[in-house]
Structure 1
Amino acid sequence: MKIIALSGALRRASYNTALLRAAAELAPDGVTLELRTLHGIPLYDGDVEAQGVPEAVTTLREAIRAADGLLISTPEYNNSIPGVLKNGLDWLSRPSGEGAKLFGARPTALIGATPGGFGTVQAQDAMLSVLRTFGCDCWFGGRLMLSHASAAFDADGKLTEEKVLNQLRSFVAGFAAHIARRKQP
């Protein structure tokens, strides 16, 4: 089973990218998490789209299309979705109707990490509106919203907090089981 692990952050030392790296290490046997970022995707502009969908968008779209599921890790900026993540999703939904074709019924799960005290509750809730529009099969079997992320990672970006490691391991296993159930005839 292959899951695309999409980071909603661009920063090299992003807690969300680090959280996805840890998820990949904790994935059950037979499950591969392939980390992807939004690097190289320009700001959405209809004039750019008229020239053709950028290669970075097409590459990410094809990776998602070839995967069994999508795990998105989102930061929370100003109580909502980071602009870079929303922009990437907007591009993936272009041309019109592509969002439903790409994401429709695709098993999708959300996690997030933030240095703040409230986790990524509002960003994840805001993401649901977008994912609902796409028709994703959102998995709600678990929620992982890591607050005070700086205390959970070491200086090298490795997740070290045992409680969070266990939560993440359980989350990834649960999401993989959800995907497996959907694949059964």
Structure 2
Amino acid sequence: MTDTPNTRVAVLVGSLRAGSVNRKLAEILRDEAPAGVTLDIVEGLDQVPFYNEDLDGADAPAAAAALRERVASADRVLAVTPEYNGTMPAVLNNAIDWISRPYGAGAVVGKPFGVIGATPTPYGGKWAHGDAARSAGIAGAIVVEDVIVSQSAVDVDPATDPEVRAKLLAALNTLVEFVPEVSAA
């Protein structure tokens, strides 16, 4: 890995459950992040009200404003999420809604964005991960396709399996090292 000093990654965990495998994965990545990389697990997503344009603006709810500030101050964004009923959990969708506004100038605009996670299905959450990547891309993030890891938790514990952990750390490294292409305008 190249030397990437002081890279800050905002981490949005799509599960609110205290014992969530995805929360554990986010914590493992935070604890094993390379030197010079800080993973900031954004807490309080359960306190952010459902997006409502009537609530938005200069007097946006404090939890929504804090979410936007944490993402805006990050260099990268990583969603670590399970899949609920074939899509991303409402808490993650809501977080993306808040950080996407104002449209074209939201906190996620221009930031490299990756999605990883595990779910106890054979597909490992690929639909949720695809939905989160699509939503973030529409919101203006730069989705890093090589940082979409959908891990099945049917026959393996993603938090303890060395191969899975290596794959997730490699995805984090790819996100950190990603350099957006500069278009010649």
**Structure with a larger share of its residues in strand:** 2
Q: How much does 1:169 deviate?
A: 1.6
Residue 81 of structure 1, aligned match among 78, 82, 88: 88
Gap change, CA 1:132 and 1:51, over 3 Å in 2: closer
Unaligned runs of 5+ in 2: 1-6
What letter matches 1:9 in structure 2? S
TM-score after normalising by structure 2: 0.84
Q: How much does 1:129 deviate?
A: 2.4
Unaligned runs of 5+ in 1: 154-158
Q: Distance in 1 between matches of 2:154 and 2:9?
A: 23
3-state SS of 1:13 partner: coil
3-state SS of 1:39 partner: helix
Q: Distance in 1 between matches of 2:69 and 2:77?
A: 12
Pairwise CA RMSD:
2.4
Residue 13 of structure 1, aligned match among 19, 38, 59: 19
Alignment of 1:32 with 2:34, yes or no, is: no
2:172 matched residue in structure 1: 172
- Shifted more, 40-49 versus 118-127: the winner is 40-49
Residue 108 of structure 1, aligned match among 113, 116, 119: 113
Q: Distance in 2 between matches of 1:100 and 1:112?
A: 27
2:142 matched residue in structure 1: 137
Q: Distance in 2 between matches of 1:33 and 1:149?
A: 27
Q: Distance in 2 between matches of 1:52 and 1:163?
A: 46
2:4 matched residue in structure 1: none
Alignment of 1:117 with 2:122, yes or no, is: yes
TM-score after normalising by structure 1: 0.84
Question: 1:14-66: per-residue Cα shift (whole Å, max 9, x none)?
Answer: 11111111111221111111111312112234444479311111111111111
1:156 matched residue in structure 2: none
Alignment of 1:63 with 2:66, yes or no, is: no
Gap change, CA 1:149 and 1:58, over 3 Å in 2: farther
